[in-house]
Amino acid sequence: MPTLLEALEEKYGLGGQRDKLDEALVSIFVPKLPPRLSVPELLILNDCNIDKAGEPEDLRRKCCTVKELDLAQNKLENWEEVFGILSHMPRVEFVNLSLNRLGGPIEMSPPCKMDRLRSLVLNNTKLEWYGVETLLRLLPVLEELHLSLNEYTHVLIDTIVDDGYETETTTDESCCDDTTCQQCQQEEQTHSSRGQKRSASECSLYKKTEAHPGVKKLHLTGNHISQWSEICRVGRLFPNLEALVLADCPIKSLCPPEDNSDEEQSSSTSSPPTKTESHEHFKNLTLLNLSNAKIDSWDDIDRLARFPVLKNLRVQCWPLWDKCDSTEHERRQLLIARLPKINILNGGDVIGSVEREDAERSFIRYYLDKPESDRPDRYFELVAVHGKLDPLVNIDLRPERRVKITFTYGDTSEERSVDVYRTVVDLKSRLERIVGLPASKMRLFYVDQDLRDLQGLEEMKYPHKRLYSYNIRSGDEIIIDQKH
């Protein structure tokens, strides 16, 4: 397998051509670096089977200007090699290491400070949380972190110890050493009244760490995290988080974890545990993607409405929408009405004042026929703003189906009820029995009762034209005449 340096030389033709370039090129303008002896600021070496860095001196000389590095889908397995590569790129700000087998522990520090790296992509690397914690300590200016498709079920790093979990006991004494078992027992005693459980093995992997104030964007798409309490740990870990992508995570509810932090203060206190708010650790979050979650309750929509600065929200493909007996447009109106702070919903246009007011009024009317016990708090808030609205009048603009028409043939007139959706040829066939004329020998003339003197007769000469297209109303007349 090639080293990064060899892949570099193969793609950009560097290395062996240096002497030839020095002898063959004659130029008046001399750039700061000779042509072709350095790589571009954006270096992309996807799927090149790279497993090692290569010769340090050559790498340092050729990659010193790189700012964005994409090494996705290679064969890197050792963080020592990764740090070796990055040490020769002092200006690097973006690194993509997705689809490399980098799940192992990070056992050594990089040979240089990585104080410019702002965006790191580690999708489908299976990096353990211990490794994530190590990287966070090494990257002080990191702003964007991608950890999608890493098969996480829990978030095993946090800034606190008491996180609202009950430790699940195990009879397998060989699973951990004495120190770890002691830790698990202590946590079991501390969290004995918790409603959620973590296995002893997960307990042993849990690690307390410092919050990282720099990270503002986090992607966890496609992981197996199902509890919002795990996501709350992310909020504590990144207190300045502005964008959180949890698409394709099977989150079942935004119900916050129970907070029993005060229960040890007094053993005589028997008050039930309180619950923290779902948004408590997301005071700066403006974008949240929860598409393809497993949420099926409107209560969670109301919890989203309480996020203080949330503006951009994606909630597509929820089981909740399958339970709604409404169209997509009606569902959008219900969401807009319940989410007063959201400006962009499911990637659509910015919600304007007119659309929001229409949605709020529609929301009020939607719950008018519902029992008062089924009406959410938002209904009463909107009634206080718009008043208690009357139901919309159902105006049917379709023509009246049956009208009474006077048929005149010679000196005989007779009033009959007629279906206006019939065609002229169909009407003629039905008049055959009444007037005794075959349809082929029949001519029909329509007379509008209000325009009789102004317009006169209008021959109904088109056989497949429907009667309603003549604007026929009850009281009008049709004159039957015989063709000669």
- What tens-digit pLDDT sequence spans the chain (484 residues)? 888 888 888 887 655 444 444 555 555 555 555 555 568 899 999 999 999 988 888 888 888 899 999 999 999 999 999 999 999 999 999 999 999 999 888 877 777 778 999 999 999 999 999 999 999 999 999 999 999 999 999 999 999 875 555 444 444 444 444 444 444 444 443 333 233 455 544 555 678 999 999 999 999 999 999 999 999 999 999 999 999 999 999 999 999 766 544 434 444 444 555 567 999 999 999 999 999 999 999 999 999 999 999 999 999 999 999 988 888 899 999 999 999 999 999 998 999 999 999 999 999 999 988 899 999 999 999 999 999 887 766 666 677 789 999 999 999 999 999 999 999 999 999 999 888 899 999 999 999 988 887 888 999 999 999 998 998 989 999 999 998 7
Q: What is the 3-state secondary structure (H, E, C) of 228-295?
A: HHHHHHHHHHCCCCCEEECCCCCCCCCCCCEECCCCCCCCCCCCCCEECCCCCCCCCCCEEECCCCCC
- Domain segments of the chain: what residues? 4-13+37-146, 217-256+280-386, 402-482
> What's the CATH architecture for 217-256+280-386?
Alpha-Beta Horseshoe (3.80)
Residue 68 in 3-state DSSP? strand
Tokens standing for residue 148? 């999608």
- Superfamily the domain 4-13+37-146 falls into: Ribonuclease Inhibitor (3.80.10.10)
| 402-482 matches 217-256+280-386 in CATH topology | no
SS3 (DSSP) at 403? strand
pLDDT of residue 456: 84
Cα separation, 309 vs 283, in Å, equals 7
DSSP state of 49: -
Specify which residues 459 forms β-bridges with: 445
SS3 214: coil
Which of 214, 208, 230, 215 shows the shortest CA–CA distance to 161? 208
- Map residue 483 onto helix, strand or coil: coil
Measured at the alpha carbon of residue 433, what is the angle toward residues 432 and 438, in degrees to the nearest 5?
Answer: 25
Structure-token pair, residue 82: 């990764």
Residues 6+ apart with CB under 8 A from 460: 424, 444, 445, 446, 470, 478
pLDDT of residue 178: 46
Phi, psi of 192 (to 5 degrees): -65, -25
pTM over 0.75: no
Q: What is the pLDDT of residue 289?
A: 98
Can you say how many angstroms the Cα of residue 90 is from the centroid of all Cα atoms in its chain? 36
Q: Pairing between strand 477-482 and 344-345?
A: unpaired
The arrangement of secondary structure in 402-482, i.e. its CATH architecture, is: Roll (3.10)
At residue 37, the pLDDT reads: 56
Single out the residue of 252, 248, 391, 264 nearest to residue 314, CA to CA: 248
| CA torsion through residues 154, 159, 160, 163, sign | negative
Q: Which 3 state secondary structure label does DSSP give 197?
A: strand
Q: What is the pLDDT of residue 129?
A: 94
